[in-house]
């Protein structure tokens, strides 16, 4: 049965990449996995944040990588979504590992803008090892050198490439990066391609599928396809009909 992955936590019901969104995802047993975005602060703390700039989802400005974590803690990252989430803070990756443990699979997406911040991959690998989550946490990125770096740091952590479109030589790219997971936009998926990849041992994730008609379509591509959605409740409803 298809894996339901809560994109940035249950971000249709709570502000993205917050502990509130992750707690909501943990509250439903049919949500199998949680996707989060991680980048490094100026003082080397891995935190959950999607954009490189703070403006869209906080009351702050500037780049995440230019702020110490103590500065980020002063920001409100909930009010933009709804007043009921006022005071929600930017969480650390460690706080997420402490909250989730091995209750769910966690897809840690490394943000490519952090490639200029030394230590992101090393710190993430250290935290996964510290909390012994190698079997339930995997690391993905659009920036493939980050994925290769994770692989060079650990043989125990599964890694994946995120791609836009359908690149040529995708199998060669996976092999070069030492990755066993492929994450793609749902618009480019076909039944033959998905089946070919999964049958050859590559785990596949597709994103970000929110319309019920599209969720239903991609569910039909392959039963092992993992589907990242902002609205897990819509996918859960469809899973209940099958």
Q: Which of 212, 159, 161, 218 is nearest to 188 (CA)?
A: 218
Q: Which of 7, 144, 222, 231 is catalytic?
A: 7
**Distance of alpha carbon 129 from alpha carbon 123, whole angstroms:** 10
Given CA atoms 159, 116, 5, 23 in this order, what sign does their dihedral have?
A: positive
Known catalytic membership, residue 7:
yes
Q: Which of 28, 50, 53, 143 is catalytic?
A: 50
- The tokens for 232 are 């897990």
- Enter the DSSP assignment of 188: G
Task: Tally the C-alpha atoms within 13 A of residue 183's C-alpha that lie toward its C-beta.
Answer: 25
Known catalytic membership, residue 82:
no
Q: Which residues contact 56 (CB under 8 A, 6 or more apart)?
A: 80
- The tokens for 148 are 């290769």
Q: Which of 54, 21, 24 is nearest to 39 (CA)?
A: 54
Positions marked catalytic = 7, 50
């Amino acid at each position: 049965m298809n894996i339901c992955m809560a994109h940035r936590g249950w971000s249709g019901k709570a502000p993205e990449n917050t502990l509130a969104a992750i707690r909501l995802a943990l509250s439903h047993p049919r949500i199998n996995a949680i996707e989060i975005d991680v980048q490094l602060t100026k003082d080397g703390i891995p935190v959950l944040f999607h954009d490189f700039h703070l403006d869209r989802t906080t009351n702050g400005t500037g780049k995440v990588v230019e702020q110490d974590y103590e500065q980020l803690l002063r920001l409100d990252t909930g009010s933009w979504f709804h007043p009921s989430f006022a005071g929600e803070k930017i969480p650390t990756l460690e706080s997420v590992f402490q909250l989730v443990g091995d209750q769910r699979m966690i897809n840690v997406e490394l943000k490519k803008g952090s490639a200029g911040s030394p230590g992101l991959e090393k710190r993430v690998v250290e935290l996964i090892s510290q909390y012994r989550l190698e079997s339930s946490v995997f690391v993905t990125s659009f920036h493939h050198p980050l994925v290769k770096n994770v692989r060079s740091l650990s043989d125990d952590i599964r890694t994946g490439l995120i791609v836009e479109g359908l690149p040529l030589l995708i199998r060669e790219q996976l092999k070069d990066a030492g990755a066993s997971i492929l994450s793609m936009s749902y618009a480019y998926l076909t039944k033959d391609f998905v089946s070919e990849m999964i049958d050859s041992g590559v785990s596949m994730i597709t994103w970000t599928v929110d319309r019920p008609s599209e969720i239903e379509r991609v569910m039909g591509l392959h039963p092992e396809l993992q589907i990242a959605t902002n609205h897990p409740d819509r996918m859960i409803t469809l899973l209940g009909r099958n």
